[in-house]
Amino acid sequence: MIIDQYYSEPNGRICFTREQGSNFAKQMANDFNPLHDADAKRFCIPGDLLFAIILARYGISQHMEFVFSGMVTAGVELVLPESSPELHINDTEGREYLRVKRAGDIARAESLIQNLTQSYVQFSGQTFPHILVPLLAEQQMMINPDRPMVIYQSMTIDLDRLDVANPVLKGDYNKLQINGKRGSVELAFHLEDGGEVVGRGKKHMLLSGLREYDETVVAGAIDTYNAGKDAFASR
């Protein structure tokens, strides 16, 4: 699978290095969230990498709901349970990081799994600055560039059918609710295959440490973000 290089599986358990998590974010999702920098103090493994592993291991169900309950750090070993309608992804000490609910038929074709994985993580990686910056600016708020906290909370996907070849995700609408220094974002999307809508979904994210909007600071944060992308691309 295309994601095999981004995790290890010692003794049947899934684990990650900082470099694997960071490379997945940058290479697969074009996501340069500072939380996924290999040297970040508050480093965490991208939630999209966990999503990709679940699809690779258990297949694509017509209905899938992912709820994240903890941030996976480098070295944590995750135990993947036997296939069932509800999966609890825990570490070796029983702490839960992800809960997955599945229903309907299941597709296991490797090409479909890879195509959906790539389409989803590339869509997901556009969150900053393309989606979050204008959403926050409408309410005169911004992410604190010194302590950016953008956390993947949950996601659902519903597919009308599974006999599709190359599903492409396209955004429908974005919503933001602000409560003090915290924010809740809903990103709605649909999936098309050959020009036909074959599914739909929603992604929810949590923001914290929000500040009053400052155009100069926002522009600087975007420049820093883009500089990181350019530096990575020129390696």
User: pLDDT for 38-94, tens place per residue?
Assistant: 998 889 999 999 999 999 999 999 999 999 999 999 999 999 999 999 999 999 999
How many C-beta atoms surround the C-beta of residue 134 within 10 A? 11
Maximum Cα–Cα distance across the chain: 51
Q: What is the pLDDT of residue 234?
A: 80
Q: Which tokens in the block code for residue 220? A: 């600087």
Contacts of 162 (CB under 8 A, 6+ apart): 60, 62, 105, 106, 107, 112
Query: pLDDT per residue over 164-178, tens digit each?
Result: 989 999 999 999 999
Q: How confident is the model at residue 129 (pLDDT cuts 50, 70, 90)?
A: confident
Q: Using the structure block, give the residue that is written with the tokens 């990650």.
A: 16
Q: What is the pLDDT of residue 168?
A: 93
**Long-range contacts from 122-126, C-beta under 8 angstroms, 24+ separation:** 122/28, 122/29, 122/30, 122/169, 123/169, 123/170, 123/171, 123/189, 124/29, 124/31, 124/48, 124/203, 125/25, 125/28, 125/29, 125/30, 125/31, 125/48, 126/30
Amino acid symbol at 85: P
How many C-beta atoms surround the C-beta of residue 73 within 10 A? 14
